[in-house]
Structures are given as C-alpha cells and as structure tokens.
A and B are shown apart, each in its own frame.
Chain A
Amino acid sequence: MTSRIRSHWLDVAAAVAVIVGFVFAVASPRIATQGDAARMLFVHVPSIWLAYLSFTVTFIASVAYLFTRKLHWDLIAGSSGEIGVAFTSVAVIGGMIWGKATWNVYWTWDARLTLTAIMLFVYIGYLALRRAIPDPEARARRSAVLGIVGLVQLIPVHFSVTWWRTLHQTNTFRPRDIQMDGPILAALLVSVGAFTVVYVALLRHRYELARLEVEALEGAVAVSGPVAGDAVTAPTIGSGG
C-alpha cells in the first residue's frame, strides 16, 4: 500500500515537472543567434541526458547482476534500457529537426550524429537480445555483458564534439565554462530536472511490469507442468549394441 502511494506521488510529481519544464521552455527569452529554433535546446538536451542516464543505470545494474546473480538487477537493466532507447530515438529525431532548422539538412555524417545513431542501434540490439532468449538466467547473463560493453560508446559520443571538428556544436552544458544567460540556463536546468523525475517514475513502472512478466512466466511453467521435450532423454554413449 505504501509503495502504491509513493508511486502515485511520483507520478503526480512527474506530471507537474513536465508542465513546469514546458512552461519554462516556452517562457525563456529568444536566443539572438538561432531565434526560436534554439528552443529545441530544452527538449533535445534533456532527451540525450536521459539516454546517458538510462544507459548508465543499465550498466550499473548489469554489473550488479553479474556480481550478485539477483534477477531484479537484470530487470532494472532491461527496464532502463527500454526507456533509454525511447529517449535516444527522440534525441536523434529531434536533433534532425533542429538540424533542418539551423543547418538546412536533416542529416549529415557528423561524428556526434553518427555515433549517437550507432549507440541507438546497439541498444535496440540489446532489447532484441533480451527478447530472443527465453531462459531468464541466460538472458540476464548475456544481456548484462552487452549492457556493460554498450556503455563504452558513451565516451566517444559525449566527447566527439571535442575530439573531432564537427558541425554539431560543442557540449551545451560545461560546468566550468557556462556561457548562457541566467533565464536560459534556468530553463535548461528545470527541463533536465523535469525529465529526470519522469525517468524515475517511468523506471519504477517499467520495473513493475518486468517483475509481473517474470511472475506470469513462473506461473505459466508451474501450471503447464512437464512439456513434451521433458520425456526425451539424451542417448547414453556406448550402451547400444
């Protein structure tokens, strides 16, 4: 009961955060260099931030699973991976729309764009891998390896704009070198905060769904009893005539 009330309040907080984030984004002053197109900042940066956050949680939960072999870590990893894929898709497609508004092209083979797209496809592969393996333990073990290896991409994705000459602007938020006016920075931080609250609420529900799916699977196995293949035993070598 307490958990449900907490979940309910988290949902309310997420809904309020989204509305507040939207109001801040719309009310922020117009940026002289890009005009209204720069308002994409308040949805594009929070989306890619959630991608980073989700895949980092997937990484941490994958490591925790391999150390502890407790299935709930695998469920957290998979749940966070799914949310990460949703928000990486939004970041990539939203970035293309912003690109069209500022560069006049939807897509260019820029390092940041290309690496982010590759990261998206790797995590779509991660979700596909999870669906392809029915055995929960094998699925958890194999997807944990991909969940750990997958995060390595985050480093070149994030630093691509510093390492190479790219069309994409350098990282928007640099704590040691903030070059944003107060109201714009405030709107950006509120949007990032709002999306983070949404992520926590979504993760909580997605984890609950994963847990229910496992319970349903265990229930189905218990109800159905032995399957046809159980009657077949491996031949004993050397026993035949």
Chain B
Amino acid sequence: MRYVVIGYLLTYGTLIGYTLWLARRLQAAHKRLGDRT
C-alpha cells in the first residue's frame, strides 16, 4: 500500500505541479507583453 500511495502522490503531484508551473509561466508571459505595450 505504501508504494501505491507514493505512486499516486508522484502522479497527481506532477500533474498539479506542472499545471501550477504552466500557470506561473503564462502569467509571467502575459505580464511581459503587458509591460511592453
């Protein structure tokens, strides 16, 4: 059961982590373009 919990944490953690990282990069890109215009 321990390995299953680790496996699920890894999968869903990566999913959430990647989503948050993507959101942060999108926000930064919008800000960069907004600053320039």
Contact = CB atoms under 8 A, between A and B. Distances in A.
Interface in B1-37: 1, 3-4, 6-8, 10-12, 14-15, 18-19, 22-23, 25-26, 29-30, 32-33, 36
Interface string A24-38: 010000000000110
B28 to A, nearest CB: 9
A6 B1 CA distance: 39
Contacts of A18: 12, 15
B4 to A, nearest CB: 5
A44 B10 CA distance: 11
Given A219-B36, A223-B36, A94 B10 contact: yes
Q: Is the interface of A mostly helix, strand, loop or mixed?
A: helix
B6 A97 contact: yes
A101 interface: yes
Contacts of B14: 86-87, 89-90
B3 A40 contact: yes
B34 to A, nearest CB: 10
Q: Is the interface of B mostly helix, strand, loop or mixed?
A: helix
Contacts of A219: 33, 36
A39 B22 contact: no
Contacts of B25: 209
B29 A40 contact: no
Interface string A208-241: 1100110110010001000000000000000000
A51 to B, nearest CB: 13
A44 B4 CA distance: 11
B22 A205 contact: yes
Nearest to B37: A219
Contacts of B22: 202, 205-206, 209
Contacts of B1: 36
A90 to B, nearest CB: 5
Contact of B32 (A86, A87, A208, A216): A216
Contacts of B33: 212, 215-216, 219
Q: Lowest 9 CB-CB distances: which A-B pairs, in order?
A: A101-B3, A212-B29, A43-B11, A97-B7, A36-B1, A40-B7, A90-B14, A39-B4, A94-B7
Interface of A: 18, 22, 25, 36-37, 39-40, 43-44, 47, 83, 86-87, 89-90, 93-94, 97-98, 100-101, 198, 202, 205-206, 208-209, 212-213, 215-216, 219, 223
